[in-house]
Amino acid sequence: MKPSRPEYATLCFNTPDSGDELNSKQNRRAIALITTLMMSVVLLMMLVSLVRAVTTQDYLTRGYHDNVAAMYVAESGLADVMSHLEIDGSWQEGFNGEPMQNRPGKYWVKFFSGGGQVPDDASINNIIGNTARPGPRGRVVPKGSALIVVTARVGAAQRQLEAIINSSGVINVEYPLMTSGNIELKGAVTIDGIHSLQGYERVAAGIHSNSRGSGTASVTWEPSNATDKAVVTGKVSSADSRPVGVGIDFGSDASRYDVGAFERAAAQKQFPGVGDIDRQVSLHAGDPAPTIQTAGTTTLPAGKYHKSGNLSVNGDLALDGGELFVDGDLTINGGISGQGAIWASGKVTFKGDATLQSSEKAAVMSKQGVNLLGFNGEEYMEAFAQSDPEVRVLWDATKQALGDTQDLLQNGDPATIVGAGGPLDVQARKLAYYPDSAELPIPVVNPEDALVGGNYLGKLQEKLSAQSQGPSRDFMIRKLGGYKDFFGANTAGTDATVANQFFNRPRVMPGAFAAVVNSSRVDALSKLTLQVSNVSYAKAGSSYFQGVIYTNGHVFAANSVTTLGAIMVDGRGRTDVQPNPLDPSETFKPGQLVMRKGANLTFVEEFFEDGDNALRIRGPVRVRTWASR
C-alpha cells in the first residue's frame, strides 16, 4: 500500500504527467524557499530601515542634548570671562579648553590685541580703552566694553556665542533724588537740574519715592522758619496711592512751595543696577591697603585699594582715579574730591565737604547708609563774624569780591577783563596774597583797615588760626586756604604752563586764576567762570558733594547739603535700622532719606548720559547684546 501523500504534496504531484508538465514542476521546485527568502529579505530591509530610523532619532536626540549642554557651556564660559573682567578690566588671558567643573564640556576664549584683520573667533577687550576698536566680522567694539566670542564643545556638538559686555557703565538715573522708602525734607529745599557743568542749560529735576505708604507720608517737606521755601523744578512723585496732602505732604500753604507737579500712585521706578556692594568689597579683598595720612589730604592715585575693618580719614580724601573698598564703616572728617569711587560694606559718614571740582565727580556706594554731617561753613563764619568786627568786615568783603568776580566773568567783555591790572586781577588781589601788590597792609585801627592790602582770605585764615583748635576751625582754615591759593599769585610755574594745566583739567589749583587772567587766556574763562560760580554756589563752606551717592541703607543729612549729581537710596530687601549718629535714640530705616536743614540738589544730566562727562563706575560686568552664532 502506497503511503498516502500529504495534502501539500498534491500541489506538486496532482498534475498531468507530461514533459511540459514535468518541466513546469521542475520550474516550480524551491519556489517556496525562494519566496520565503525574498520575503525575508524584504522583512530584513524593513527591519534595517526601522533600526536605522530609530538609531538616527537616538543620534539626533543625543545631538540635541549635547547641543543644549554646549549652549550652557558657552554661557558658562561667558560668565567666567565676566567674573575675571569684573576684577581686572584689562584681563586678556582667555581660556584654552577650560573644562567644566562637573560635566564633560570645554570652552575657549581667545583675545586678540594685535593689529590687522581680527580673526572670526577672536575676542576684543576694550573695557579700559578710550576709543572704539575693530572687532571680528566687521564689528565695532565701543570704548568701555568688550566683545567676547566663546566657543564651547560637548561631545560632537559645538556652539559659539558672541556678546558685547560692559563694565564701566553709565549709571542710569532719572531723578536726582530717588528712594525706596520715605523722603523727609525740612528747611529750604531747591531741586533743579542743569544739562552740563559746562553751561547753564536748565533741565527739570524731580524727586521720587517707591514707597507705597503706610502711616506717615511717603514724601514730606516742612519749613524750618517763616521764609523757607521748597522749589522742585520737576515732579514730586510717589508710588503711594493716597491723595496729595496725605501720601505726599508739602503742607497746606501752597505759597510756600513751587513744584513742577505732584504725582501720586506713580509707577515704581527702577534703580540703577550697581550690583551687590558687599560682593564688590569682598572681591577686592586682595588689593593693597591705602596709605592714609594722619592729617591733611590723603590722595589715592589710580588703582584699587582695600581696607579691612572701619576706616577713618582725618582730613580730605582726594580720589585721583582711585577706587577704595572698605569692609566696614568709612568716616571722612574732611571733604572728598577728585574722580573715583568708594565702596563700603558699612556706613559712610562725611563730616566735611568736597572741594570744588567741576569736571570730576565721585561715586559713593554704601551698603548700610550715608550720613552727611556736612559742616556749615557759612553759618560758622557768620557766627565768627559776629564776635569780631574785623572778621565781619573781611567776611562781607570776601563775599562781595566773589560776587563781583562772578559778575565780571559772566557779564564782562572777555577781552577787557583779563590781563595784569585788569578788573579780574583787581578782584583776585582783594581775595588773595600777591607779593607785588601795590597796596601794602596797614596796622588795623578801625575794622575797615583790615581790607587794606587785600588778601581777605589770608587774613580770615589768620583770624581763624588764632581761635582754639577744633575740627570746625581746621576745616574752615583748609577751605579758605584752598580758595586763597586758587586766587593767589601764581608761583607754581609760568602763567602759560599753569593756565594750560587748568584748561586741560579745570579744578581748584594754586595760581590758576592768576595764570589764566595774566596770560589773557580768554578761551579758559568759561572754565574759570564755572569754578568761581561753584565757590558762590557752595556758599563757601556748606556741605557739597559732586557725583552720585548710592546706598542700600539710609541717607541722613544733618546740615545743609549741596549735591551736584544724584542721590539714590535703595533699601529694598533690607530691614536693619541704623541709629542717627547725632541722636542714637532715633533710627533710620533702609530706603529712608532725611534732610533736616535744607538741601540743594542739582541734577547734572550729562553725568548720567553716555558721553565724555558721564559718571561711570566699574561695577558688575553686564551683557549689553548677546547672540548665538
CA–CA separation, 548 and 568 (whole Å): 8
Exposure class string for 99-137: b at 16+ Cβ within 10 A, else e: ebeeeebbbbbebbeeeeebeebbbbbbbebeeebbbbe
Per-residue contact flags (x/-) with another protein for residues 585 to 604, judged by CB under 8 A: --------------------
- Minimal distance, residue 30 CB to another protein, in Å: 5
CA–CA separation, 220 and 236 (whole Å): 10
Query: According to CB under 8 A, which residues from 31 to 90 bind another protein?
Result: 32-33, 35-37, 39-40, 43-44, 46-47, 50-51, 53-55, 57-58, 61-62, 64-65, 68-69, 72-73, 75-76, 78-80, 82-83, 86-87
The amino acid occupying position 602 is T
- Minimal distance, residue 476 CB to another protein, in Å: 44
Which residue's C-alpha cell is 582770605? 457
Other Cβ atoms closer than 10 A to 544:
29
Q: Which is nearer to another protein, 288 or 471 (CB)?
A: 288
Judge whether 168 and 125 are in contact, CB under 8 Å.
no
CA–CA separation, 436 and 578 (whole Å): 55
Q: Which is nearer to another protein, 72 or 537 (CB)?
A: 72
Q: Is 13 in the site for another protein (CB under 8 A)?
A: yes
Of 220, 282, 437, 501, the one binding another protein (CB under 8 A) is 282
Q: Is 308 in the site for another protein (CB under 8 A)?
A: no
Of 144, 234, 247, 275, the one binding another protein (CB under 8 A) is 275
Helix (H) or strand (E) holding 221: strand 219-222
Of 22, 140, 261, 415, the one binding another protein (CB under 8 A) is 22
Stretch that binds another protein, among 97-105, 252-260, 525-533, 589-597 (CB under 8 A): 97-105
Query: According to CB under 8 A, which residues from 610 to 629 bind another protein?
Result: 620-623, 626
- Minimal distance, residue 617 CB to another protein, in Å: 13
Q: Which is nearer to another protein, 32 or 496 (CB)?
A: 32
The amino acid occupying position 61 is T
Q: How many residues bind another protein (CB under 8 A)?
A: 62
Q: Is 172 in the site for another protein (CB under 8 A)?
A: no
Of 89, 105, 488, 591, the one binding another protein (CB under 8 A) is 105
Q: Which is nearer to another protein, 37 or 442 (CB)?
A: 37
- Minimal distance, residue 450 CB to another protein, in Å: 59
- The string of DSSP letters for 226-288 reads TT--EEEEEEEEES--SPBTTTEE--S-GGGEEEEEEESSPPPPPPP----HHHHHHHTTTSP
Other Cβ atoms closer than 10 A to 568:
24
Stretch that binds another protein, among 30-38, 322-330, 429-437, 523-531 (CB under 8 A): 30-38
Stretch that binds another protein, among 101-109, 190-198, 222-230, 330-338 (CB under 8 A): 101-109
- Minimal distance, residue 56 CB to another protein, in Å: 10
Which residue's C-alpha cell is 522708602? 181
CA–CA separation, 20 and 215 (whole Å): 116
- The string of DSSP letters for 595-607 reads ESS-EEEEEEGGG
Q: What do you get for the CA distance between the two ends of the chain, in Å?
A: 88
HSE-CB for 351 with a 13 A CA cutoff: 18
- Minimal distance, residue 618 CB to another protein, in Å: 14
**Exposed, middle or buried: residue 142 (CB in 10 Å: 0-12, 13-18, 19+)?**
middle
Helix (H) or strand (E) holding 318: strand 316-327
Provide the 3-class DSSP secondary structure of residue 169: strand
Q: Which is nearer to another protein, 47 or 415 (CB)?
A: 47
- Minimal distance, residue 370 CB to another protein, in Å: 23
User: Which residues are at the interface with another protein (CB under 8 A)?
Assistant: 5, 8-9, 12-13, 17, 22, 25-26, 29-30, 32-33, 35-37, 39-40, 43-44, 46-47, 50-51, 53-55, 57-58, 61-62, 64-65, 68-69, 72-73, 75-76, 78-80, 82-83, 86-87, 100-103, 105, 273, 275-276, 279, 282-283, 620-623, 626
